[in-house]
Structure 1
Amino acid sequence: MMSQKQMQCSTGALLLLLPLFGGLVLGEISNDFSQCLDFFSNKTPPKGITAAGYQPICQRYKNHYHFASLYRREHRSPLSSAYILSPADGKRPESIWMFEPQLAFSRGKAEMQRFKSVVNQNVIESQAVVKDNNNSNFTKGHLNPSMHQKTKEDREATFTLTNIVPQKKGSDCGPWNDLEKEVLSNFTAFCNGLMHVITGVMPYESEPRWINGRVSAPECMWSAYRSNLPKSVKPFPPTYAAVGRNDPNSGEEIVPVNVEARKYWGYDVRRMSLEALEGILKQRLAMPITLFHGQCQSQRLKAIAMNTFTYT
């Protein structure tokens, strides 16, 4: 029997970051993550991105914050989502898509809402809508996947389009889905505490690739996690950071193609150290990226993280 994830993929259904800013007021556009710092390691968002045009969103649903996203207004898609991993205690919820009123209206509510049958023009202009992926050969790819969230409300909250990017089915239903399962497995097997995850996208170097002239598709996906380990645990979980291809025709400088593993359709995922991922983001964005605050304080973690290998 097909899983709900496979059913979604088979039908074609379906990040870089910013330093701290000022304060957030509910009902108004925020310029920082002050209301949802718990979703970041050491309550510190990633540092190093100074470009304009990114909108921090504390993802609020049913009067609670569930994760944090950094949204690219011009591209109508997120650059990243940060969350605390917790294995799901139930099934994947129905795909009921939501939007952010605060992106569409100056005094819009700071809580995601379900799309209505008739979509307001302000919403259409300010962010992605459900029909943007129609006839595009892209799925709606979660940065914060529902299976990484514990409660039903946590999982439902991941179905906001501000957490969604255009992702090729070969990635979403293949190696990237395998990576998400592997991270979940590592958490269950090794972690005795919190696991903070940041998942994002890597834009094309040359120019955006637009879906239906509205939403930009990423060239690559990336993810990194940091967890607190009990002293008795050796070794550290093998996946510390990863980059996955979202375009089978891209160059192989970042993620080589395993020509023998044809089942991956060219959407290979490369495991790597956190330092290697930050180096790639620094080169691609021309900005010094630090994903997790205070990571260099632990020489043991740094040494282990230097183990770099590819998906085989």
Structure 2
Amino acid sequence: MLQTHHLRSSIRFLFLLLCCFDGLVLGELHQDFSKCLNFFYKGTPPQGINATGYQPICQRFKNQYRFAGMYHRQSRAPLYSAYIISSADGKRPDSTWMYEPQLAFSRASADMKPFTSSVDQNVMESQAVLQDYKNSTYTRGHLNPSMHQKTTEDRAATFTLTNVVPQRAGSNSGPWNSLENEVMRKFKAFCEGPMYVITGAMPYADGAHWISNRVSVPEYMWSAYCCPSYKAKLPQDVQPIFPTYAAVGRNDCYSDEEIVPVNPKARASVRGYDVRKMPLDTLEGILAQRLAMPISLFDGQCQ
């Protein structure tokens, strides 16, 4: 009987140990954003995304959630990143690029990790890696730009390839960068509360375009903001762009002009990478047609 008692006690101890160990290593990938709803207006992520293959990610760095993203495994690229804009309190950090361990290993740490010299095959199969961008003629285009984040840690967290799409340099350092700076100026000048931003990528209508035969290249970039609390007396020319506004930018200078017209007077280095600003519902209509999904970005249109 004593031997049986010891055996039962050992089994109970082993069971408790396994439970505790499982709690330490179990990853946090879910089918929703329940861990990071604060990055969305009224805690409501975009509605209408009903295709398979999309993975919500609460992007965590140094044991803290920094922003949210919707990732497409087959494309090895994000559909969008969602964040709360904040004025940076320092310079752009050194770019230590990271990956999302949970996409490769279901029980991995929830924190993003820096790339090492050798990349695990499971990581390569589940997401983009630095080698994909090497000699590709594309830059690593942030959806959540580092200078839209306040602290050093928040800015460093944007340097994950789950927040990046292949973006032409003419767009990344040209008109799209100007749009990011303009959104920041609007936030500082007119917002009296949080500004929620969702920035994403739009695939080609004629099928996927790839770098390294692995990572989907977007034809357009898009972005929208929601500032529900803003100054009571806005200048007349600013009134139409609050509480929401949106934009679409060309990532292919040879695309047709149906969505974004080309400015023939633009300087040669950025010609064809134009940005068209528009009301939120216009962007949602474009996304609904291109993605074949009735997307609603902000709850109640941010009203």
> Who is 2:103 aligned against?
103
Normalized against structure 2, the TM-score is what? 0.87
The residue type paired with residue 198 of structure 2 is: I
> Who is 2:9 aligned against?
none
CA drift at 1:117: 1.4
Normalized against structure 1, the TM-score is what? 0.85
> Who is 2:187 aligned against?
187
8 Å CA contact retained: 1:68, 1:83: yes
In structure 1, runs of 5+ residues without a counterpart are 1-24, 299-312
Alignment deviations for residues 219-260 of structure 1 (CA, whole Å, 9 cap, x no partner): 000000010213233433748100000001111100000112
Distance 1:149 1:37 in 2: 18
8 Å CA contact retained: 1:186, 1:237: no
- Give the count of matched residue pairs: 273
Aligned with 1:288 (options 283, 294, 299): 294
Is it true that 1:61 corresponds to 2:61 in the alignment?
Answer: yes
The residue type paired with residue 81 of structure 2 is: S
Is it true that 1:236 corresponds to 2:242 in the alignment?
Answer: no
> Who is 1:258 aligned against?
263
**RMSD of equivalent CA atoms:** 1.4
8 Å CA contact retained: 1:243, 1:277: yes
Alignment deviations for residues 149-200 of structure 1 (CA, whole Å, 9 cap, x no partner): 0000000000011001000000001000000000001111111110000000
Distance 2:250 2:262 in 1: 9
SS of the aligned residue for 1:294 comes to helix
Alignment deviations for residues 70-104 of structure 1 (CA, whole Å, 9 cap, x no partner): 00100111010000000100000001000011000
8 Å CA contact retained: 1:66, 1:154: yes
Distance 1:26 1:124 in 2: 21
8 Å CA contact retained: 1:190, 1:237: no
Distance 2:93 2:182 in 1: 21
| Equivalent runs, 1:1-312 vs 2, <5 Å | 27-227=27-227, 228-234=229-235, 235-236=238-239, 238=241, 240-263=245-268, 264-295=270-301, 298=303
Which has the larger helix fraction?
2
SS of the aligned residue for 2:199 comes to strand
Distance 2:273 2:61 in 1: 33
SS of the aligned residue for 1:102 comes to helix
The residue type paired with residue 180 of structure 1 is: E
